[in-house]
């Protein structure tokens, strides 16, 4: 049965990109204390806002969702807001 999706295995570089994106979505979900699916949907519908910033601890990804903020530094998550 054909479901309209291409089930060809991805090329190695696509698989690596998928793993990196999945890791980022997982980190965003953990930082904002939502599920991976909620994070993916929030990124898609714009309810999760992302931006880069820098402070005395270095460069970070600032995330906002439903009035909550979190900062994702390389190797660390900081909650606030």
Name the range with the highest mean pLDDT among 4-8, 28-32, 73-77: 28-32
Average pLDDT estimate for 3-21: 76
With tokens 């599920």, the residue in question is 35
With tokens 């570089």, the residue in question is 13
Domain positions in the chain: 12-80
Asked whether the predicted pLDDT for residue 7 surpasses 90, the reply is: no
Other CB atoms within 10 A of residue 71 CB: 18
- Judged by DSSP in three states, 77 sits in strand
Q: 35 or 79, which is more confident?
A: 35
List C-alpha distances in Å: 64 to 9, 37, 60, 72: 35, 16, 13, 11
pLDDT (tens digit per residue) in 19-59: 999 999 999 999 999 999 999 999 999 999 999 999 999 99
């Amino acid at each position: 049965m054909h479901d309209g999706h291409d089930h060809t295995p991805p090329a190695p570089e696509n698989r690596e990109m998928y793993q990196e994106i999945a890791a980022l979505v997982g980190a965003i979900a953990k930082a904002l204390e939502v599920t991976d699916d909620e994070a993916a949907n929030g990124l898609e519908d714009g309810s999760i806002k992302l931006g880069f910033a820098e402070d005395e601890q270095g460069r970070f990804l600032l995330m906002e969702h439903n009035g909550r903020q979190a900062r994702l530094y390389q190797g660390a998550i900081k909650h606030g807001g």
